[in-house]
Amino acid sequence: MAPTVAVVGGGISGLAACYHLARGPRPPKVLLLEASARLGGWLQSTRTADGAVFEHGPRGIRPGGAVGADTLRMVSELGLEGDILPVPGDHPASKNRFLYAGRALHKLPSGLGGLLRPVPPFSQALLWSGVRDLLAPAGTEPDESVHAFVHRRFGQEVADIAVDSLCRGVFAGDCRALSVRSCFPTLFKAERHRRSVLLGLALGSGERRARGTRGDTRTPVPPLRHVRTPVLSPAGKERGAESRLSRRARAERWSQWSLRGGMESLAEALVAFLRPRGVELRCHAPLRRLRRCPDGRWQLTLADGTMMADHVVSALPATALAEVLPAEAEPLAQELRCIPAVSVAVVNLQYEGVVLPVTGFGHLVPSSEDASLLGIVYDSVAFPQHDGAGAASVRLTVMMGGAWFGQSFGDPAAVAPALLLQRAQAAVREQLGLEPAPTRSIVKVHQACIPQYTLGHWQRTERISRFLAEQRLPLSLIGASYAGVSVNDCIASAKAAIGQLLGRPC
Ligand SMILES: Cc1cc2nc3c(=O)[nH]c(=O)nc-3n(C[C@H](O)[C@H](O)[C@H](O)COP(=O)(O)OP(=O)(O)OC[C@H]3O[C@@H](n4cnc5c(N)ncnc54)[C@H](O)[C@@H]3O)c2cc1C
Ligand SMILES: C=Cc1c2[nH]c(c1C)Cc1[nH]c(c(CCC(=O)O)c1C)Cc1[nH]c(c(C)c1CCC(=O)O)Cc1[nH]c(c(C)c1C=C)C2
Number of H helices, E strands in the chain: 20, 20
- Return the ligand 1 atom nearest residue 286 CA: 42
At what angle are helices 126-135 and 146-154 packed, to 10 degrees?
90
Out of 42, 67, 85, 344, mutate this one to test ligand 1's pocket (max ligand atoms within 8 Å of CB): namely 42
Number of C-beta neighbours around residue 340 at 10 A: 18
What pLDDT does residue 222 have?
34
What pLDDT does residue 67 have?
96
Q: Is 372 in the pocket of ligand 1 (CB under 6 A)?
A: no
Burial 8-32 (b: 16+ CB within 10 A, else e): bbbbbbbbbbbbbbbeeeebbbbbb
- Return the ligand 1 atom nearest residue 36 CA: 47
Number of C-beta neighbours around residue 65 at 10 A: 15
What pLDDT does residue 2 have?
86
103 CA from centroid of ligand 1 (Å): 33
What pLDDT does residue 389 have?
86
Burial 163-177 (b: 16+ CB within 10 A, else e): bbbbbbbebbbbbbb
What pLDDT does residue 322 have?
98
What pLDDT does residue 392 have?
78
- Return the ligand 1 atom nearest residue 478 CA: 26
What pLDDT does residue 240 have?
62
What pLDDT does residue 118 have?
84
Using alpha carbons only, how large is the chain's radius of gyration in Å? 23
Q: Is 401 in the pocket of ligand 1 (CB under 6 A)?
A: no
Q: What is the pLDDT along the chain (506 residues), one digit of tens a residue?
A: 789 999 999 999 999 999 999 998 889 999 999 999 999 999 999 999 999 999 999 999 999 999 999 999 999 999 999 999 999 999 999 999 999 999 999 999 877 677 778 888 998 888 899 999 999 999 999 999 999 999 999 999 999 999 999 999 999 999 999 999 999 999 999 999 999 999 999 988 666 433 333 333 333 333 454 333 334 544 444 456 789 999 999 999 999 999 999 999 999 999 999 999 999 999 999 999 999 999 999 999 999 999 999 999 999 999 999 999 999 999 999 999 999 999 999 999 999 999 999 999 999 999 999 999 999 999 999 999 999 986 679 999 999 999 999 999 999 999 999 999 999 999 999 999 999 999 999 999 999 999 999 999 999 999 999 999 999 999 999 999 999 999 999 999 999 999 999 998 88
What residues contact residue 1 under an 8 Å CB cut-off, 6+ apart? none
What pLDDT does residue 207 have?
64
Residue nearest to atom 26 of ligand 1 (CA): 479
Residue nearest to atom 1 of ligand 1 (CA): 57
For residue 84, the number of C-alpha atoms closer than 13 Å in the C-beta half-sphere is: 26
pTM comes to 0.94
The DSSP symbol for 360 reads: S
Query: CB–CB of 483/183 below 8 Å?
Result: no
Residue nearest to atom 13 of ligand 1 (CA): 58
What pLDDT does residue 391 have?
63
